Amino acid sequence: MRRRTGFIAPPARRSASAGRGVTAVTAMTFVALLTTMGALPAQAAYVDADGVPARSVGSAAAGTRLAAEQSVTVTAQAPIAVEVDTYSAEVPPPPVVVAPAAAAAPTPVAAPASVSADVVWPFPGVTRISDGYGPRSAPCSGCSTFHDGLDMNPGEGTPIGSIAAGVVSSVTPYDDGGLGVHVMVDHVVDGQNVTSTYGHMQAGSAAVSEGQSVSAGQRLGNVGSTGQSTGPHMHLELHLDGVTAIDPYAWLVQHAGPM
């Protein structure tokens, strides 16, 4: 057996001092790394592979929420209505003091063109009318169903005036039925012959005679209830040319004006 000669050095040993040096360097490096990471923001501590900082807090939903909380969107499509209350104040003008004026004379009212100053109503003022001209139900057994006149009720004994100037054509001083005590007067009004008849006068009250001239408003007798009458009243008839009966009320309103 051949023996190998020569010196073979034993395996080298790492010295204890060298090992301690490596350990110290490693520890210092780790400490430095921790210090650096603690000093950097959270976003800087996490970097994607392409160098873009990754989201470091929460999930994607948390990032979206942060973005929403930090953004404001204003568009012309969503105007904000603003309501403003307005108020106004008015100061009333000072009162105007007017000295009382002297009483002025009343202005005369012009009569209608067709009214004649020579025509008047049989009684002054407003008088109650109990029956008008035209068809009616007979108020008594001897009364007509067509009323030829106008019944006026100023009260028994009231003086009856002529409606216009004229000449007395007939006087019946006693109660003969029908119109009872009555007077008839012929007139000429607006160139037309008109005869007026005043019936149911008080017995003995006739104050005129045939052929006597009378003026408008002159007393002819007093209101009574003679003849075919149901109570004290004056029955007035008007006839054109002594023949044609007309509505006394309408004729008087036309020629004398409203009552």
Distance separating alpha carbons of residues 257 and 127, to the nearest angstrom: 14
What are φ and ψ of residue 104, in 5° steps? Answer: -90, 150
pLDDT of residue 228: 85
Q: Residue 136: what pLDDT?
A: 63
Q: What is the mean pLDDT of each run of 10 residues along the chain (259 residues)?
A: 50 51 56 54 47 47 48 55 57 62 50 65 92 69 69 96 97 91 96 95 97 97 92 93 91 94
| SS3 (DSSP) at 38 | helix
The pLDDT of residue 219 is 98
How many C-beta atoms lie closer than 10 Å to residue 12's C-beta?
6
pTM: 0.54
- The pLDDT assigned to 75 comes to 56
**The pLDDT of residue 242:** 83
Which runs of E-coded beta strand occur in the chain?
128-131, 134-135, 146-147, 150-153, 159-161, 166-172, 181-189, 192-201, 213-214, 219-222, 234-240, 244-246
SS3 131: strand
* Rounded distance between C-alpha atoms, residue 69 and residue 42, angstroms: 20
- Gap between the Cα atoms of 234 and 237, Å rounded: 10
What confidence score (pLDDT) does residue 178 get?
87
| Cβ atoms 174, 154 nearer than 8 A | no
The alpha carbon of residue 134 and the mean position of all alpha carbons in its chain are separated, in whole angstroms, by 42
Domains of the chain: 128-256 (2.70.70.10)
